[in-house]
Structure 1
Amino acid sequence: MIELKFKTFKRAPFFEIAKQLIKGRDKILDIGAGEGSFADYLQKLDIYLLEGNPASVAKLKKRYKNVFQGKLPDLPYENSFFDLIHISHVIEHLHPDDMYKTLKEMDRCCKPGGAIVVSTPLFWSGFYNDLSHIKPYDPLVLEKYFGALQKPNSTREVISKSYTVERLEYRYMEEIPDWNLYRCNGLVLFLLKVLTFLRRSIYKKYIRTGYTIVLRKAN
């Protein structure tokens, strides 16, 4: 059964997954903070924010003190510094080499017992509508390189064998056929639209458009 709150393109239900993991004094990093939507959702003023856009960094510094301008894959932080690392809708913009190096950096900065929370789209019909999207990364990629799979069969060295998948939630959208793509018209197109209406009324079909995964690092 798909939960209604995950049938959305809104990020709040997935921010909540990360929020539920946070304790009072935890050190939190949000990578690719943008305009600060995750930080604003948490209302945690001591959160660490990493952002590459200078204009966004300037705005964030007016509201938060731990704001850093930087570019992935490098993270300007000490080893084992964070209790939770959050990265939302960022990895799909990375080429595989930078993706791999970013995962290594997140592992380096995550405390034993801490968590890494990744949200990203999967491949769907609208994925490449954004010119900055490089490729979608299946959750198995993260499980593989963070050692959550017993037999990873990796093309690169496994980054760690210390993680387990604590939670995996998919994002969904209703699949609605676009019959205009089939160059139908007249009565045929009308009948197809009627069939689509009936199907949506009786049995809705959903596709996965993204996910949030929680990877827990062993103590």
Structure 2
Amino acid sequence: MVKKKYATHAREPFFEIANKNIKADSKVLDIGAGSGKFSNYCKRKDFYLFDGNQDTVNFLKEENTNVFLGELPILPFENDFFDLIHCSHVVEHLTPDVFYQTLKEMDRCLKVGGFIVVSAPILWSGFYDDLSHVKPYSPGVFMNYLVGKNKNSRTREIVSEDYVCDELTYRFLENKNPSILFSNKNNKFLVKVILKGIEILKKMGLTSYERTGFTIVMRKIK
């Protein structure tokens, strides 16, 4: 069952997932802060905002106290410093090596009891329409390298086994062209029947959706 709330590419429903794990005294890092939408959503000016664009950093400094210019994977912060690390639509722009080192850096900077919250696209029909996208990473990557699942498929050393997944929420978009979902395109009659069925379902208020991304909440338990 698709929750209509998450059938969107708007960021706010997924910001809410992260925000509910933030307390008044939490130290929060937003990696790839951009225009500051997440900190603005949370109504906080004391978040640590990290971005690789100098113009963006200059803009953020106009209204925020903790703004840092840098390039992943290096995070210029002390060990065990943050209560929550937020990273929205950043990891898909990283090569596997940089992503792996970034995971290690996030783990280093996070306190025990803290949270890593990542939102990212998966491999969907529109993923490579954006030329800045390098590679889609599934939620399984976090389960593999931070929880310790799927040991036989790991090609790099585990980052940690000290995390649990508190929440995994998927993002969807309405499928505007459902015929692309069917691999048996040579059977035109079958496709026609299926599309007719979809048309009937739409008239009944039902529709088909494509899973396009996720938000995962990882909690460091020790």
TM-score by length of 2: 0.89
Q: Distance in 2 between matches of 1:63 and 1:46?
A: 10
Q: Which moved more, 1:152-161 or 1:32-41?
A: 152-161
Q: Distance in 2 between matches of 1:115 and 1:149?
A: 18
What does 1:70-85 align with in structure 2 at a 5 Å threshold?
70-85=70-85
Match of 1:93 in 2: 93
- Residues 98-120 of structure 1, C-alpha deviation per residue, up to 9 Å, x if partnerless? 00000000000000110000000
Measure the CA separation in 2 of the matches of 1:147 and 1:191: 44
Task: Give TM-score, length-normalised by structure 1.
Answer: 0.90
Pairing 1:204–2:219 present: no
Instruction: Provide the rounded CA distance (Å) in 1 between the counterparts of 2:22 and 2:64.
Output: 18
Partner of 2:185: none
* Cα-to-partner distance string for 1:9-61 (whole Å, 9 max, x where unaligned): 11100000000001110100000000111011011111000001111111000
In the TM superposition, what are the counterparts of 1:125-204 in structure 2 within 5 Å?
Answer: 125-149=125-149, 151=151, 153-177=153-177, 196-202=198-204, 203-204=206-207
Cα distance in structure 1, aligned partners of 2:59 and 2:4: 34
Note the alpha carbon deviations across 1:75-107, whole angstroms, 9 max, x for none: 000000000000000000000000000000000
SS in 1 for 2:153: coil
Cα separation, 1, equivalents of 2:201 and 2:176: 10
Instruction: Determine the C-alpha separation between the residues in 2 that align with 1:174 and 1:122.
Output: 15
Distance 1:122 1:71, change over 3 A: same
CA distance in 2, matches of 1:174, 1:94: 27
Is the partner of 1:149 in helix, strand or coil?
coil
CA displacement, residues 179-206 of structure 1 (integer Å, 9 cap, x when unaligned)? 69xxxxxxxxx99876543232344222
The partner residue of 2:216 within 207, 213, 216 is 213
**Pair 1:197–1:111, CA change in 2 (3 A):** same
Greater mean deviation of Cα atoms: 90-99 or 196-205? 196-205
TM-superposed CA distance for 1:147, in Å, is 2.0
Paired residues in the alignment total: 213
- Equivalence for 2:57: 57
Kindly state the Cα deviation for residue 176 of structure 1 after the two structures are TM-superposed: 2.9
Please state whether the residue corresponding to 1:40 is helix, strand or coil: helix
Change (3 A) 1:105 1:197: same
Deviation (angstroms), 1:151: 3.6
Distance across 1 between alignment mates of 2:152 and 2:22: 29
The answer (yes or no) to whether the contact 1:145–1:152 under 8 Å persists in 2 is no
8 Å CA contact retained: 2:178, 2:208: no
1:135-178 deviations in whole A, cap 9, x for unaligned? Answer: 10010001100025264631000000100000000001122326
Contact 2:122 2:214 in 1 (8 A): yes
* Match in the other structure for 1:9: 9
Q: Contact 2:122/2:138 (CA < 8 Å) preserved in 1?
A: yes
SS at match of 1:212: strand
- The answer (yes or no) to whether the contact 1:165–1:213 under 8 Å persists in 2 is yes
Cα separation, 1, equivalents of 2:150 and 2:54: 42
Residue identity in the other structure for 1:32: G
State how far apart, in whole Å, the 2-side matches of 1:31 and 1:56 are: 13
